Amino acid sequence: MTLTTNFYYKGPSGPGSTVVPSEYNVYKDIRRINATADVASLLTAGTLCYLTAGTNAADMTPAITEMGQTAATAGLLCVVEIEEHNPQYATTVDMAVYPNKMPNTSVTRATYSPAANTKIIVIPLEVGMNLWVVSSHDASFDTTFGTTYISAANGYIKAEGQPTGAAMDLRAQHFMSLATTENQNWHFVRYEGVRAYDSS
């Protein structure tokens, strides 16, 4: 588990008390909105999600790869915020102060995620917002400074792949890595918005 600092980012290898640090978002409107989990065991802090309004009007579901491709996903994206001292989580959670924040080690994701139809806090993303996102729960993902990644299944990010020009018909949420990481769950990125990517 390592994060290589650079001219732009010289902080720790994971978030503190928030996934959207204000010192890296001086001109952004960081809105924390009460919502609910539409599914169990997936909406841990740093998970990308969108409104599905299922059982509850504020139900959130983890993002997918083709985010913004259809009217159902709408292209609007949020990230689950870190919470403090929430009694809905098991007392066995390692990070007792922030029970929904996974460490940068291999863990069981469900331990850090709420049950369905329980409260979460989300932050709507703005283009240019700098934030912490998760990409795994087994500390297996790497990022490279300046490289673009896209939204993936279960609210994670993944590598975009090398474009061939053969199939530019899909759209996804894009994120630029702001620090090189190796074998981590957490990654510091800049939100770039929805755009086409090569699906070949």
DSSP string, 62-93: E--TTTTSSTTTTT--EEEPP-SS-TTS-TT-
Q: Which of 132, 137, 84, 79 is nearest to 110 (CA)?
A: 137
CB atoms within 10 A of CB 159: 15
Q: Give the pLDDT confidence score for residue 200 in this predicted structure.
A: 62
For residue 115, what is the DSSP state? P
Q: For residues 93-118, give the mean pLDDT.
A: 87
pLDDT at position 71 over 90: no
Task: Note the pLDDT tens digit of each residue in 140-197.
Answer: 999 999 999 999 999 999 988 666 666 666 778 899 999 999 999 999 999 999 887 7
183 and 2 Cβ atoms separated by less than 8 Å? yes
Q: Give the pLDDT confidence score for residue 66 in this predicted structure.
A: 75
Q: For residues 102-114, give the mean pLDDT.
A: 92
Indicate the pLDDT class of residue 104, thresholds 50, 70 and 90: very high
- The region of weakest confidence among 29-33, 88-92, 94-98, 125-129 is 88-92
Longest dimension (CA), the chain: 50
Cα gap 75→95, rounded to integer Å: 32
Supply the pTM of this predicted model: 0.92
78 and 37 Cβ atoms separated by less than 8 Å? no
pLDDT at position 89 over 80: no
Indicate the pLDDT class of residue 92, thresholds 50, 70 and 90: low
